[in-house]
């Protein structure tokens, strides 16, 4: 059924259709509306057979999810930013134990400086935690990915993060096609655990493993992610057949057939990039041969699929909402590994950190430069160099130059945050 | 694509207005995308929300920097925030006020714009009269349907019914209708002027 609703509400309804049995969460922006919505549905009786557990922290949220999942219950939670960092130890444990928890991460920057706006720093800080990470381009895809995530998680016995851009998607009211309970029930069978804490057949989960077997257990975690590389496209195809729309998969290409330059990104910015690419392909704008590659599955990372999609291009531009401080791009590093030996020119663009708007105007100028072969190796999109240099000068001139964040706000004369 | 930017203050239902606008467009079978300008919102602080309306899927996610229309829920913002930033030369403006554009000190500004696309409506007074609370957002949507012609009044009224129930819905519908009529009359006047 078509509905005009907030992204968070759409995800809450989709998660409810997946018949979760335990939901435990601690509120943090911009994720809060999702679990609020689910809490209301449990309380009203709309979502039956589900226990909503209020916890005192994100660490407790993931710990409860680990317990309930190990006891055989379909378990869900959601978080963002500092909340994800606070639960980090349990996040690694959930993956290491092979528990098929599904978690929404409403992507938001990480402090300091404290910032509630969107970028991908939070999910990507958990890059190597062993969870699968799927990134949604639209609210429709966000809700669809949750349905696929439970199926994928439970088949492989691995936890899945569904990542959606905080505010940009979670707080956007737009059209979604909400499936029926019957449709979701057909796609997603009841949870059949591979391992379960059952008093009738006692087992322990979470043994200490020494050097004699630790590497093998870790390799098996890696092998499972490689299995996911096979299953993700299959489950997306099955979803497409049953629900009648494309959602999920490893990657998605757009106008790449004759593209000499391919822009690679994750999440909602792909929409703005596609609009920009359409404009630049118009003959009056130079008719640039440029295409787009959206990464849906960041973990497992689809090296082969990306290499195949880039086979015919000359160069690629990875535009990412994340920064490996002291190195460069996070996504770009993985993409470069995927294209090893292909002789492509690669560029990294760091953009949209902490909610900095990514505009068609800036993208168009950036892509024109890239297509002309004039883009630097690494670019910080719309960085205010004047502000940066002023602070650097200040640090050279005065030993007690003061806190950087406060200095930059004072220089900018900021009264209230704005992004338009 | 038609892009609307709504300026108001925390507590005036700015975000709700953008959402309802998108629902009204959706009810007409169109694509719409409403989103707030995210900040640390608090009562009384300047707040902005956006709504895009189109006949095809909306992929664009940038904030609205060159709006086709502005709804200004609180005229005191005119001295605090650059509400008109980026407005298209033939854009629409609807301001919640009992004053005229001239009285608001905007005589120079309106001289450069199409008069029939610049309207005012006493939305706070209409809300007090019909709903009993000074929340101008919904009556302004009625006025917006009139000035912009982008949406039918009926779609706005339907969106109100979907959002509110009972007396609040009835009051807001009456306020939106009256705002619609006031703006229509204003437009006819400026067309004859």
Per-residue pLDDT tens for B24-81? 999 999 999 999 986 766 888 899 999 999 999 999 999 999 999 999 999 999 988 8
Q: How far apart are CA A79 and CA A27, in angstroms?
A: 7
Task: Please tell me if the domain spanning A2-195+207-243 has the same topology as the one spanning A251-380.
Answer: yes
Q: How far apart are CA B3 and CA B137, in angstroms?
A: 17
pLDDT band at residue B193 under the 50/70/90 scheme: low
What is the per-residue pLDDT for B188? 87
Residue of chain B whose Cα is closest to the Cα of A170? B35
What is the per-residue pLDDT for A299? 98
Q: How far apart are CA A298 and CA A145, in angstroms?
A: 13
Contacts of A143 (CB under 8 A, 6+ apart): A10, A11, A13, A14, A176, A178
User: B99 vs chain A: nearest CA distance in angstroms?
Assistant: 28
> What is the three-class DSSP state of A194?
coil
> What is the three-class DSSP state of B45?
coil
A410 touches chain B (CB under 8 A): no
Residue of chain A whose Cα is closest to the Cα of B65? A420
B16 touches chain A (CB under 8 A): no
Q: Where are the domains of chain B?
A: 2-192
Q: What is the pLDDT of residues B91-140, one digit of tens each?
A: 999 999 999 999 999 888 888 888 889 999 999 999 999 999 999 999 99
Q: Would you mind telling me the total number of residues written for chain B in this entry?
A: 193
Instruction: Count CA within 13 A, CB hemisphere, residue B31.
Output: 10
User: B49 vs chain A: nearest CA distance in angstroms?
Assistant: 10
Chosen CATH of A251-380 out of 3.30.830.10, 2.30.30.140, 3.40.50.920, 1.20.810.10: 3.40.50.920
Q: Do B63 and A420 touch (CB under 8 A)?
A: yes
Please count the other Cβ atoms lying within 10 Å of the Cβ belonging to residue A52.
17
> Pairing relation of β-strands A315-320 and A345-350?
parallel
Q: What is the CATH number of domain A2-195+207-243?
A: 3.40.50.970
pLDDT band at residue B190 under the 50/70/90 scheme: confident
Q: How far apart are CA A330 and CA A282, in angstroms?
A: 32
Angle at A134 between CA A130 and CA A138, to 5 degrees: 160
User: A10 vs chain B: nearest CA distance in angstroms?
Assistant: 14
Angle at B75 between CA B72 and CA B76, to 5 degrees: 130
pLDDT band at residue A418 under the 50/70/90 scheme: low
User: B118 vs chain A: nearest CA distance in angstroms?
Assistant: 23
Residue A104 pLDDT greater than 80, yes or no? yes
Residue A54 pLDDT greater than 80, yes or no? yes
Residue A145 pLDDT greater than 80, yes or no? yes
Looking at residue A278, what DSSP letter applies?
H
B23 touches chain A (CB under 8 A): yes
What is the pLDDT averaged over residues B9-22?
Answer: 95
Q: Average per-residue pLDDT in chain A?
A: 97
Q: Which of A172, A3, A9, A13 is nearest to B27 (CA)?
A: A3
Q: Which chain B residues are Cβ-neighbours of A416 within 8 angstroms?
A: 39, 45-46
Q: Do A173 and B65 touch (CB under 8 A)?
A: no
- Here the tokens at position A295 are 């990464």
Residue A281 pLDDT greater than 90, yes or no? yes
> What is the three-class DSSP state of A328?
strand
Percentage above 90 pLDDT, chain A: 98
Question: Do the beta carbons of residue B5 and residue B81 sit within 8 Å?
Answer: no
Residue of chain B whose Cα is closest to the Cα of A2? B26
Residue A119 pLDDT greater than 90, yes or no? yes
CA torsion angle for A311, A316, A322, A328 (degrees, to 10)?
Answer: 110
Q: How far apart are CA B50 and CA B25, in angstroms?
A: 14
- Here the tokens at position B103 are 């009285």
Q: Which fold has domain B2-192?
A: Pyruvate-ferredoxin Oxidoreductase; domain 3 (3.40.920)
In angstroms, how far is CA B117 from the centroid of its own chain?
Answer: 13
Residue A241 pLDDT greater than 90, yes or no? yes
User: A341 vs chain B: nearest CA distance in angstroms?
Assistant: 34
B44 touches chain A (CB under 8 A): no
User: A227 vs chain B: nearest CA distance in angstroms?
Assistant: 32
- Between A271, A355, A420, which is nearest B65 by CB? A420
Q: What is the pLDDT of residues A76-97, one digit of tens each?
A: 999 999 999 999 999 999 999 9
Instruction: Count CA within 13 A, CB hemisphere, residue A335.
Output: 31
What is the per-residue pLDDT for A417? 62
Q: How far apart are CA A294 and CA B48, in angstroms?
A: 30
**pTM of the full structure:** 0.96
Task: Return the bridge partners of B80, or none.
Answer: none
Question: Do the beta carbons of residue A144 and residue A159 sit within 8 Å?
Answer: no
Instruction: Count CA within 13 A, CB hemisphere, residue A183.
Output: 16
What is the per-residue pLDDT for B40? 62
Show contacts of A240-245: CB within 8 Å, 24+ apart. A242/A183, A242/A186, A242/A187, A243/A144, A243/A179, A243/A183, A243/A187, A245/A140, A245/A144, A245/A177
What is the pLDDT averaged over residues A43-47?
Answer: 97
What is the per-residue pLDDT for B80? 84
Q: Which chain A residues are Cβ-neighbours of B32 within 8 angstroms?
A: 4, 173-175
Residue from A1, A2, A3, A4 whose CB has the most chain B CBs within 10 Å, to mutate: A4
B185 touches chain A (CB under 8 A): no
What is the per-residue pLDDT for B112? 84
- Between A275, A360, A419, which is nearest B37 by CB? A419
Question: Do the beta carbons of residue A303 and residue A138 sit within 8 Å?
Answer: no
What is the per-residue pLDDT for A416? 59
Q: Where are the domains of chain A?
A: 2-195+207-243, 251-380, 393-420
Q: Do B35 and A116 touch (CB under 8 A)?
A: no
pLDDT band at residue A396 under the 50/70/90 scheme: very high
């Amino acid at each position: 059924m078509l509905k005009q609703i907030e992204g968070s509400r759409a995800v809450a309804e989709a998660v409810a259709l997946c018949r979760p049995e335990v939901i435990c969460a601690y509120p943090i922006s911009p994720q809060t509306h999702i679990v609020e919505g689910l809490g209301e549905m449990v309380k009203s009786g709309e979502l039956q057979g589900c226990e909503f557990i209020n916890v005192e922290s994100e660490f407790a949220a993931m710990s409860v999810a680990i317990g309930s999942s190990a006891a055989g219950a379909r378990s869900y939670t959601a978080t963002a930013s500092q909340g994800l960092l606070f639960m980090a130890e349990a996040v690694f444990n959930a993956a290491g134990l092979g528990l098929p928890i599904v978690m929404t991460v409403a992507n938001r920057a990480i402090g300091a400086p404290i910032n509630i706006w969107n970028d991908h720093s939070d999910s990507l800080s958990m890059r190597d935690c062993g969870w699968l990470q799927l990134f949604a381009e639209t609210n429709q895809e966000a809700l669809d990915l949750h349905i696929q995530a439970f199926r994928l998680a439970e088949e492989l016995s691995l936890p899945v993060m569904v990542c959606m851009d905080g505010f940009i998607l979670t707080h956007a009211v737009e059209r979604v096609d909400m499936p029926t309970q019957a449709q979701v029930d057909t796609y997603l069978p009841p949870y059949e655990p591979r391992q379960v804490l059952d008093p009738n057949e006692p087992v322990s989960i979470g043994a200490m493993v020494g050097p004699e077997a630790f590497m093998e257990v870790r390799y098996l975690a890696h092998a499972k992610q490689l299995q996911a590389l096979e299953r993700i496209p299959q489950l997306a195809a099955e979803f497409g057949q049953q629900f009648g729309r494309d959602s999920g998969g490893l990657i998605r290409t757009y106008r790449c057939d004759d593209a000499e330059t391919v822009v690679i990104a994750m999440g909602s910015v792909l929409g703005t990039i596609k609009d920009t690419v359409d404009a630049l392909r118009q003959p009056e704008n130079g008719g640039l041969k440029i295409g787009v590659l959206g990464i849906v599955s960041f973990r497992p990372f689809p090296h082969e699929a990306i290499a195949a999609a880039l086979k015919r291009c000359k160069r690629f531009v990875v535009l990412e909402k994340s920064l490996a401080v002291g190195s460069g791009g996070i996504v770009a590093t993985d993409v470069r590994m995927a294209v090893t030996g292909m002789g492509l020119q690669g560029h990294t663009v760091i953009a949209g950190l902490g909610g900095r708007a990514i505009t068609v105007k800036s993208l168009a100028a950036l892509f024109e430069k890239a297509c002309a072969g004039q883009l630097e190796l690494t670019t910080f999109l719309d960085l205010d160099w004047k502000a940066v240099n002023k602070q650097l000068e200040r640090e050279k001139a005065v030993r007690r130059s003061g806190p950087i964040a406060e200095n930059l706000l004072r220089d900018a004369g900021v009264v209230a945050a704005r992004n338009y | 694509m038609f892009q609307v930017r709504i300026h108001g203050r925390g507590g005036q239902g700015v975000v709700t207005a953008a959402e309802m606008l998108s629902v009204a467009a959706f009810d007409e079978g169109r694509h719409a995308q409403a989103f707030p300008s995210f900040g640390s919102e608090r009562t009384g602080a300047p707040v902005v929300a956006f709504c895009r309306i189109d006949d095809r899927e909306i992929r664009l996610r940038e904030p609205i920097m060159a709006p086709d229309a502005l709804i200004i829920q609180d005229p005191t913002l005119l001295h605090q925030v650059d509400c008109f930033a980026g407005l298209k030369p033939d854009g629409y403006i609807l301001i919640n006020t009992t004053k005229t554009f001239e009285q608001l000190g905007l005589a120079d500004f309106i001289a450069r714009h199409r008069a029939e696309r610049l309207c005012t409506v006493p939305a706070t007074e209409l809300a007090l009269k019909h709903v009993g609370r000074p929340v101008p957002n919904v009556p302004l949507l009625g006025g917006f349907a009139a000035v912009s012609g982008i949406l039918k009044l009926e779609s706005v009224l339907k969106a109100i019914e979907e959002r509110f129930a009972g007396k609040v819905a009835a009051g807001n519908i009456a306020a939106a209708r009256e705002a619609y009529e006031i703006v229509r009359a204003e437009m006819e006047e400026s067309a004859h002027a």
